[in-house]
A and B are shown apart, each in its own frame.
Chain A
Amino acid sequence: MSAPAYDLGRHPAALALVNRHRLRVWEPLPWILALAFYFAFPNHLGFGTDLLVTILFALSLDLALGYAGIVTLGHAAFFGAGAYTVGMLAHHGIWNEPISGLLMGASVAALIGFASGLILLRTTGLTLLMLTLCTMALLEEAANMGEKYTGGFDGLPNLPIPPLFGLFEFNPLYPRVQYLYVLGVLFLCFIFVRTLVYSPFGRSLTGIRENVLRMHAVGAPVNWRLVTCYTISAAIAGIAGGLWAQANAYVNLSTLSLDRAATVLIILVLGGYGRLYGAFIGAVVYMALSHFLAQVYPTAWQLGLGLMLVLIALFARNGVIGLWDMLRNRLMAKGATMRATKSGPS
C-alpha cells in the first residue's frame, strides 16, 4: 500500500504542488527593482508611490478575484473606506499617527467588507458585479453628501500627517519617505498574502473558484470561506487607501470612484489574476505606459493603451503572465521533453 503512495509523492505534479510555496530564485527581484527605482528616479517618486499603492490595491483584488473567484467591480469601496477613515480622523484632529491610522482604515474597510460580503456573496456573475458596483456608488454618493465630515466633492485637503515614527517627514515635493513607507507596507502585506494563499485556507479558496459544487460536496463551509476572504481582501484594500491618503495628504471622492475600481480590475487582468505577481506586472505595465505615454502624447496616449489591452486580450490568456507562460511552454516544448502541461490560472 505504501509503495504507490511513495510513487505518487515523487510524481512531478505532486512535487510541484508540494514545492509551490517555496521561495523561487527570482522572487526577490521585484523588491530589488523597487529599491533601484528609488535611487535611479529620485524625481519620479510621486509616480512611484502611486504605483506601489496601486500594486497593493491590485494585490488585494487578486485575493478576492484571482483566488476566490469573486468578480467585483466595486473594490474601490474599500480603498475609499480606508482613505476616508485616515483622512477624516486626521482632518478632524482625532488621530493622525500614520501606522495606527492604517490599521484603523483596514478595520473600517474590513467591517464594510464583512457586512456587504454576508449579503452580496450569495450571488454571482453580472448580478454580483452590479451589486458591488452599486454598493460602491452608494458610498461615493454618501461621501459626496456628508460634506460636513467628508469635505464633499472638494475632499479634505492638507491632512496633518505627522512624521513617520516621529522622525521622517512627508515632503510633498520629494516624496522619498512616502515611497519607502509604502514599499515597506506593501512588502509586509505581500508576505501575508503569499502565506495565506499557500495555506490550506488558500487552497480551499481555489477549490471554490474551480468547482463550487464539489467544495460543497466535500463539506467545506463555502459561503463562510468566501466572506472571510472578502473581508481580508477589503482590509488590505483599506490599507492601500489609507496609504494613498497619507502619501497625498489628501482624500477625495476619486478614492471611491468607479474609475478607480475599473482601473484596478483592468490592471489585475492585464497582469494575470490568481498569480500573486500579476498585480505587480499589471500595475507596472499599465501605469508606466499611461504615465510616460501621456507625457509624450498628452492627447493621444489612450489609443496606445487601448491597443495594448486589446492585443493582450487577443493573444494571451490571463494577461502578461499568461503570455509569458505560453512562450515558456513553447520553448520547453521545442526542447527534448514534452512535459509541459496546459497552463492556466492555478
Chain B
Amino acid sequence: MRVIFGIDVASMVLGGLAAGMVLFIVSVGLSVTMGLMGFVNLAHGGFAMLGGYVIVLAMRNWGIGFLPALALGFVVIAGVSIAFERLLYSRLYRASELDQVLFTIGLVFMMISTVTLTIGPENQQLMLPSWLQGQLDLGILHYRTYSVFLIAVGTAIVIGLWLGFERTRMGAQIRAAVDNRRMAESLGINIDRLFMFTFAFGSGMAAIGGGLGAEFLGLNPQYPLIYLVYFLIVVSVGGLGRVTGVFFASILIGIFDFALKKYLPQGGTLFIFAMTILLLLWRPQGLFGGKAT
C-alpha cells in the first residue's frame, strides 16, 4: 500500500513538473521584459505560437530533427522579435501601460489572423521522434518518456539561466536594471541594448516553449489568447523580473494543478484561480518579488 502511494505521488510530481517546465520556458521571457522595462507585452504568447509553427513546419516540410528544429525556432523568433522591438516596441517604451496593452493586443489579433489565413485554422501536430515516444523505465515506475525529457530540458535551461543571471556581467546588469532602472542607467548601463537582448532572448525561449508544449497544449492560431492567462498567473505569482521566482511559481502551479485535476476533477478551474488570489493577497509582489510595481 505504501509503495503504491509512493508511486502515486511520484507520478503526480513528475507530471506536474513536466507541465510546469513548459509554463516556465514560455513565461520566463515575459517576466524579465516586464520587470526590466515595465512593458506589458501581451503578444508574448504570440511569439510562442509563431515559434511553435516554425518548429513544427520545419520538421514536417524539411524533415529536420526535433532538436535542430528547436534551435531553428529559437533563432528565427529571436531575429523576428529584434525587428519587432526596433521598429515597433521601442516607440512605446515611454507610453502608458494601457497604450502598450492596446498595441500588443492588436499585434496578437494580427498574428492570429495572419497565421489563420496563410497556414489555416487547424491544429498543427508535432511529430515527436521515436526516441521520445512511449514509456521510460525509471526503476520504481514507468513514465511517459516525453515528460521526463521535458523535465530534463527544463532543468538544464533553468540552471543555464541562473548561471547567466548570477554569474555574468550582463546578468548582473539585468538584475540591477530590474531593481532600479534609473540608478542602473546613471551608472552607464545601456538599458535599451540590454532590453533588446533580453526581449530577443525571451521571445526565443517562448518559441522553444511553444514547440515543446505543442504535444500537451496543441498549437493553433488561438494559442496566444487561450494560454495568456496562465502565463500571466505564473509571472505575477513568481514576481516580475525574477527567473527563480518564475521557475518556482511554474513548478508549484504545475504540480498543484496536476494533483487537483487527478483527485478532484470536478473542481474545474476553480482551484487554480482561488490559489492565485490567495497567493497574491499574501504576497502582492509575487512569491519572490521585492520591488514595488
Sample (7) of A-B pairs whose CB atoms are under 8 Å apart: A127-B286, A130-B276, A141-B268, A145-B270, A306-B105, A309-B109, A318-B96
**Residue B19 lies at the interface, judged by CB distance under 8 Å to chain A:** no
Contact with B along A99-126 (1 / 0, CB 8 A): 0000000000000000000010011111
Give the distance to chain A from B39, nearest Cβ to Cβ, in Å: 12
10 nearest interchain CB pairs?
A309-B106, A306-B109, A313-B103, A306-B110, A303-B113, A125-B293, A310-B106, A302-B113, A134-B273, A313-B102
Contact with B along A306-321 (1 / 0, CB 8 A): 1111111110011100
Interface contact B107-A126, CB-CB below 8 Å: no
Inter-chain CA distance A273–B102, complex, in Å, is 12
Contact with B along A117-157 (1 / 0, CB 8 A): 00100111111011101110110011011000000000000
Inter-chain CA distance A311–B116, complex, in Å, is 21
Give the distance to chain A from B233, nearest Cβ to Cβ, in Å: 6
Interface residue ranges of A201-241 to B (CB < 8 Å):
none
Q: Which of A127, A141, A302 contacts B293 (CB 8 A)?
A: A127
Task: Give the total number of A-B pairs whose CB atoms are below 8 A apart.
Answer: 129
Q: A299-B116, A303-B117, A306-B111 are in contact. List 12 more A-B contacts (CB 8 A).
A: A126-B240, A127-B284, A127-B286, A131-B280, A134-B280, A145-B268, A265-B98, A265-B101, A269-B101, A300-B117, A302-B113, A303-B113
Interface contact A137-B273, CB-CB below 8 Å: yes
Contacts of A302 in B (CB 8 A): 109-110, 112-113, 116
Interface contact A123-B280, CB-CB below 8 Å: yes
Give the distance to chain B from A159, nearest Cβ to Cβ, in Å: 26
Interface residue range, chain A: 35 or more
Interface contact A126-B293, CB-CB below 8 Å: yes
Q: Which of B102, B110, B116 contacts A307 (CB 8 A)?
A: B110
Inter-chain CA distance A327–B198, complex, in Å, is 36
Contacts of A65 in B (CB 8 A): 98
Contact with A along B78-107 (1 / 0, CB 8 A): 000000000010011001111111110111
Inter-chain CA distance A310–B98, complex, in Å, is 12
Q: What residue of chain B has the Cβ atom nearest to residue A312's Cβ?
A: B102
**Residue B59 lies at the interface, judged by CB distance under 8 Å to chain A:** no
Inter-chain CA distance A121–B282, complex, in Å, is 14
Interface contact B293-A124, CB-CB below 8 Å: yes
Interface contact B107-A310, CB-CB below 8 Å: yes
Given contacts A123-B280, A269-B98, A269-B102, contact A313 B92 (CB under 8 A): yes
**Residue B235 lies at the interface, judged by CB distance under 8 Å to chain A:** yes
Inter-chain CA distance A258–B229, complex, in Å, is 9
**Residue A81 lies at the interface, judged by CB distance under 8 Å to chain B:** no
**Residue B108 lies at the interface, judged by CB distance under 8 Å to chain A:** yes
**Residue B114 lies at the interface, judged by CB distance under 8 Å to chain A:** yes
Given contacts A123-B280, A269-B98, A273-B98, contact A306 B232 (CB under 8 A): no
Q: What residue of chain A has the Cβ atom nearest to residue B232's Cβ?
A: A130
Interface contact A317-B99, CB-CB below 8 Å: yes
Inter-chain CA distance A305–B109, complex, in Å, is 7
**Residue A284 lies at the interface, judged by CB distance under 8 Å to chain B:** no
Interface contact A314-B277, CB-CB below 8 Å: no
**Residue B203 lies at the interface, judged by CB distance under 8 Å to chain A:** no
**Residue A83 lies at the interface, judged by CB distance under 8 Å to chain B:** no
Contacts of A256 in B (CB 8 A): none
Q: What residue of chain B has the Cβ atom nearest to residue A139's Cβ?
A: B273
Interface contact B95-A317, CB-CB below 8 Å: yes
Given contacts A137-B269, A138-B273, A138-B274, contact A299 B117 (CB under 8 A): yes
Contacts of A249 in B (CB 8 A): none
Give the distance to chain A from B23, nearest Cβ to Cβ, in Å: 15
Inter-chain CA distance A137–B109, complex, in Å, is 22
Interface residue ranges of A277-314 to B (CB < 8 Å):
299-300, 302-303, 305-314
Contacts of A141 in B (CB 8 A): 268-270, 273
**Residue A270 lies at the interface, judged by CB distance under 8 Å to chain B:** yes
Inter-chain CA distance A187–B235, complex, in Å, is 41
Give the distance to chain A from B37, nearest Cβ to Cβ, in Å: 13
Inter-chain CA distance A122–B285, complex, in Å, is 12
Inter-chain CA distance A309–B101, complex, in Å, is 10
Give the distance to chain A from B51, nearest Cβ to Cβ, in Å: 19
Given contacts A137-B269, A302-B112, contact A318 B106 (CB under 8 A): no
**Residue B236 lies at the interface, judged by CB distance under 8 Å to chain A:** yes
Inter-chain CA distance A128–B286, complex, in Å, is 12
Q: What residue of chain A has the Cβ atom nearest to residue B107's Cβ?
A: A310
Interface contact A318-B113, CB-CB below 8 Å: no
Inter-chain CA distance A311–B103, complex, in Å, is 8
Q: Which of A124, A309, A318 contacts B105 (CB 8 A)?
A: A309
Interface contact A270-B268, CB-CB below 8 Å: no
Give the distance to chain B from A103, nearest Cβ to Cβ, in Å: 29
**Residue A266 lies at the interface, judged by CB distance under 8 Å to chain B:** yes
Contact with B along A65-90 (1 / 0, CB 8 A): 10000010000000000000000000
Contacts of B114 in A (CB 8 A): 303
**Residue B176 lies at the interface, judged by CB distance under 8 Å to chain A:** no
**Residue B1 lies at the interface, judged by CB distance under 8 Å to chain A:** no
Interface contact B236-A127, CB-CB below 8 Å: yes
**Residue B161 lies at the interface, judged by CB distance under 8 Å to chain A:** no
Interface contact A131-B117, CB-CB below 8 Å: no
Contacts of B88 in A (CB 8 A): 310, 314
